């Protein structure tokens, strides 16, 4: 059960990363993975996206369902994003600004939020 994302600094060519079903609370430790296209963080304890995710501009699929997100701040720089799953979080409302710049997004799952 991972509690931190660390030790991936040398994985500069990584395109897919699965970190499901851990005890992660933040996304720190991801910002250097600039080639990442797929990221799954389902079933963790993440409360906010933070600045680390904004550096992942090649990300095409982002799965962060079953966490504790209350907002979607920080997605706008993910201009390659096609699939986003934020199901079963603590989202109460979603603002249009959260999706600004996400013109390639064609699959969005918001089910099971507050």
Each residue's pLDDT tens digit, 44-71: 999 999 888 999 999 999 999 999 999 9
Which positions of the chain have pLDDT values less than 70? none
Contact between 73 and 51 (Cβ < 8 Å): no
Give the number of other CB atoms < 10 A from CB of residue 53: 23
Tell me if the pTM is above 0.85: yes
Question: What's the whole-number average pLDDT of the chain?
Answer: 95
Contact between 81 and 62 (Cβ < 8 Å): yes
For the sheet containing 38-40, what is the strand order? 16-18, 38-40, 61-63, 83-85, 107-109
């Amino acid at each position: 059960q991972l509690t931190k994302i660390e030790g991936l600094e040398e994985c500069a060519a990584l395109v897919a990363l699965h970190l499901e079903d851990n005890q992660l609370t933040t996304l720190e430790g991801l910002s250097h993975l600039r080639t990442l296209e797929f990221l799954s963080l389902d079933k963790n304890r993440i409360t906010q996206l933070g600045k680390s995710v904004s550096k992942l501009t090649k990300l095409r699929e982002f799965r962060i369902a079953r966490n504790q997100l209350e907002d979607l701040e920080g997605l706008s720089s993910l201009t390659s994003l096609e699939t986003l799953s934020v199901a079963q979080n603590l989202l109460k409302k979603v603002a249009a600004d959260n999706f600004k710049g996400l013109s390639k997004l064609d699959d969005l799952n918001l089910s099971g939020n507050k």
